[in-house]
Structure 1
Amino acid sequence: MSSGQQFTLRTIIMAHPDRAAQAAALARHVPGAEVVFDPEPDGRRDSMRATYAAWSAGVADATHVLVIQDDVILSDTFLPTVLAGIELLPDAALAFYAHNDSPNGALIRLSAAAGADWVEAITEADYLPCQAVLMPVPLVRRLTEFMRPLVGLRFDDDDVLAQFLTTAGVPTYLSVPSVVNHGQFVSLIGNDERSAALYSHFHPASAGSGQRLAHSVTACPYFSKGVAYCMLRVDDGTHDAWRQAHWLDAVRWLGLDRAVIEEGFEQHRAADDQVPALVDHIGLAYVHGIWVTAYLTGHVLRTGAVPVRRLTDGATTPVSSDLLIDGWAAMGEGGLFGTLLHPRSLDGWGKAVSAVAQAAYEAAGGPTP
């Protein structure tokens, strides 16, 4: 498939024979896509082996390769967004999905609130999910060389991909929002509970809107296992490096007063009649973690820690308040992954979670549409 006159895209569906029907359906959704099956389908379940096979399938007559996993849902604007990404950032690696409990997922939500359509990914301190990734052919060749000796040794293909991008110094960007989501299929490697950090059927690039890139982000709050954390970009004297901080450390680093955050939470608990029921349902520590994460998010945006620059001219798409609310709900769901509680525990509670997060965000002075 061609994008303008300069670029040619080859699409590979990375698949297991148990999902042949789903892979065929995805291939019909993306014209010209080819299905590449796990070369050892009866062997140990190994996503690294399957990923290597997909990226090694050949790059003849292409400038870019897109690899899609067989268990995803593609938005209505997925393909136009991919083609726009090639035009905008032809030398970069692009990912169109991030998990709702990860720093990169939080980075997508943070950038959406800042009005961006793309964001620089974190690769040195987070994995990069392989659900839908695009690379120019020269990078694909280097990636397969990097992966080859690791097949049979490593199974964590998303970590290996992030390590390659970091060591190779490859610019890597995420679409904002994600235009791919995890499908409702039984996972072959145990990721049933995960979904996108912020998913939408619409990406502004598909409509020809002016595009904006969030870059040089210095702080990214995220919610994991019921606890608020913050990724901080710290200068170690030789280069900037991301490091994870518990929210108490992040509060000191960002110059915030813990007492103000705690007082705001207690005031909201007393004022919002949904909070006591939510606390009874899911626990005080979880609701407190939601409040702190959203408060830090509002502060980070208010203080300019998420610079945004234009990639193209033209009218830009306004920040959607509905999308931000959806992001809070996804953050809440992701925060239960890896705990004793299933994310489905929040079924019917999304609005209550979002209300807590939005109140904290606004209390910190976060920008609103």
Structure 2
Amino acid sequence: MRLSTVIMAHPARAALLPALIDACAGLAPRIVFDPDPAGPPSPLRTAKRAWAAVASGATHHLVLQDDVIPVAGFVEQVCRAIEAKPEHGLALCVNWNSPHNSYYARRAAAVGSPWAPLSTTEWMPTLGLVLPADAALGLAAHLHRVPDDFVDEDEVVVEFCRIRGLPVVAALPNLVDHAGVPSLTAHYLVSHAITLPADVPPLEEGHWSAMAAAEPFLTERVTDVSRRRYTVELWDSECSLRFVRDEAGEAVEHPFSWYWYDWCPLAGIDPREIVAAYREDATPGVPPEIGLEVWAAGFLLGSDAATTMRDAPAEALSPALPPATAAGLLRGVVASWVRSGLVPEDLADLDDPARAALVDLGVAAVAAARTGRRRVPTAAAGR
């Protein structure tokens, strides 16, 4: 495996580059600047050059955007990840509140997989993306067919991968996070990785090879149009279901989702059961209406994970991640749900212990649904 690495950058963010280059020490990253920095903002314009800049003799090509923060040990982990999935596209970050992929990543974490197959219709997470070298060059040619004023290269990237039949999976935990600097293209939502570095303990050597045979079953849950597909959202302090009907031509980012209590029977769950389980052991320090929404989101996620695991044979679920890693991964994706899913006023009203208790509650809900226990463990109800 020989990795070619490029950072696509804008001169306005030059101050971010030294730290990013240091974090990539050993990969010899090259900088590809926006060829028209004074022109209308267009990541697509720079991406065309970045994906074409595959080094001679490379087997894989990594493109990082200039506003990412790699995790500690980034070089070692990205190389191990590529070695585990050499024929795949690898997304190193999933936005914590994207309509579909954020949930697919949370579901994979709830199953205990270090890999989350991604949507073939939602825009590609391109903050950090690895492709096989021949696919990278093919992508560059594909991008060059699109006018720069299209702007959003992530939508063109997913189109290319879909046409080519290239499977793309997200690494769990994510290996880069968004730095949180203002967007150059007027995207107003603040987004971070689905997991943050503090959420997960140091990874063991075999991390990226765990549950390798589970991928087809996770992929089926993403792509099988014959089943009722949905994602679970936590947004504006409410849990809701978003039914996935890309085969019907519905826009990924459409604003319609459906309140969980009214629609979770379509996911095979009685909402009264969710409410009853939550009321058995409420969470101190957390407003009950917020606690119920987080509980519902976790319960629906856990139920979906349990269904996925029942569909897969036992051998597909091994070797399993170490318990501490699996627990940290699950806690990480629930924590990012809480951080991104509550309205700012609700989040500000919670002190650190209450936020931690709310994450505990979400994790307990996942476990309750996943294992068939309907009562929240007392120890998880608060700290």
Short-chain TM bin: 0.7 to 0.9
1:26 aligned residue (11, 17, 20): 20
Structure 1 residue 153: Cα displacement: 3.1
Structure 1 residue 267: Cα displacement: 4.3
Q: Could you tell me which residue of structure 2 aligns to residue 352 of structure 1?
A: 357
Q: Does 1:297 align with 2:304?
A: no
Q: Is the 8 A contact 1:109 1:324 kept in 2?
A: yes
1:198 aligned residue (195, 198, 212): 195
What count of residue pairs does the alignment treat as equivalent? 346
For normalisation by structure 1, the TM-score amounts to 0.80
Cα–Cα, structure 1 residues 292 and 315, in superposed 2: closer, same or farther, change >3 Å? closer
Structure 1 gap segments, 5+ residues each: 1-6, 237-242
Q: Could you tell me which residue of structure 2 aligns to residue 240 of structure 1?
A: none
For 1:108-127, what aligned pairs fall within 5 Å after superposition? 108-124=105-121, 126-127=122-123
Where 2:275 maps in the other structure, the secondary structure is helix
Decide which structure has greater helix share. Answer: 2
Q: Is the 8 A contact 2:95 2:125 kept in 1?
A: yes
Quick one: distance in 2 between partners of 1:91 and 1:296? Answer: 32
Q: Is the 8 A contact 2:234 2:294 kept in 1?
A: yes
Q: Does 1:364 align with 2:369?
A: yes
For 1:78-97, what aligned pairs fall within 5 Å after superposition? 78-97=74-93
With 66-75 and 103-112 compared, the bigger mean Cα shift is at 103-112
Q: Does 1:177 align with 2:173?
A: yes
Cα–Cα, structure 1 residues 345 and 207, in superposed 2: closer, same or farther, change >3 Å? farther
Where 2:120 maps in the other structure, the secondary structure is coil
Cα–Cα, structure 1 residues 138 and 158, in superposed 2: closer, same or farther, change >3 Å? same
Q: Is the 8 A contact 1:81 1:206 kept in 2?
A: no
Cα RMSD over matched residues? 3.5
Cα–Cα, structure 1 residues 343 and 122, in superposed 2: closer, same or farther, change >3 Å? farther
Q: Does 1:105 align with 2:109?
A: no
Q: Encode CA deviations 1:122-177: one digit per residue, 9 max, x unaligned.
A: 222x2222110000122112212221132323122222222222222211111111
2:194 corresponds to which letter in structure 1?
A
For normalisation by structure 2, the TM-score amounts to 0.77
With 182-191 and 22-31 compared, the bigger mean Cα shift is at 182-191
Where 1:303 maps in the other structure, the secondary structure is helix
Structure 1 residue 315: Cα displacement: 7.6
Q: Is the 8 A contact 2:90 2:131 kept in 1?
A: yes
Q: Could you tell me which residue of structure 1 aligns to residue 7 of structure 2?
A: 13
Q: Does 1:228 align with 2:239?
A: yes
Q: Encode CA deviations 1:171-204: one digit per residue, 9 max, x unaligned.
A: 1111111111111433333456211111336687
Structure 2 gap segments, 5+ residues each: 222-229, 248-253, 374-383
Q: Could you tell me which residue of structure 2 aligns to residue 274 of structure 1?
A: 285
1:137 aligned residue (133, 136, 147): 133
Decide which structure has greater strand share. Answer: 1
Q: Does 1:333 align with 2:330?
A: no
With 316-325 and 81-90 compared, the bigger mean Cα shift is at 316-325
Quick one: distance in 2 between partners of 1:345 and 1:45? Answer: 37
2:366 corresponds to which letter in structure 1?
Y
Q: Encode CA deviations 1:298-337: one digit per residue, 9 max, x unaligned.
A: 111223357488799978432443442332221012224x
Cα–Cα, structure 1 residues 317 and 265, in superposed 2: closer, same or farther, change >3 Å? closer
Quick one: distance in 2 between partners of 1:35 and 1:142? Answer: 20
Cα–Cα, structure 1 residues 316 and 275, in superposed 2: closer, same or farther, change >3 Å? closer
Structure 1 residue 11: Cα displacement: 0.2
Q: Could you tell me which residue of structure 1 aligns to residue 226 of structure 2?
A: none
Q: Is the 8 A contact 1:211 1:311 kept in 2?
A: no
Structure 1 residue 72: Cα displacement: 0.9
Q: Is the 8 A contact 2:35 2:46 kept in 1?
A: yes
Cα–Cα, structure 1 residues 309 and 53, in superposed 2: closer, same or farther, change >3 Å? farther
Cα–Cα, structure 1 residues 309 and 38, in superposed 2: closer, same or farther, change >3 Å? farther
Q: Could you tell me which residue of structure 2 aligns to residue 212 of structure 1?
A: 211
Q: Is the 8 A contact 1:178 1:198 kept in 2?
A: yes
Q: Is the 8 A contact 1:105 1:196 kept in 2?
A: no
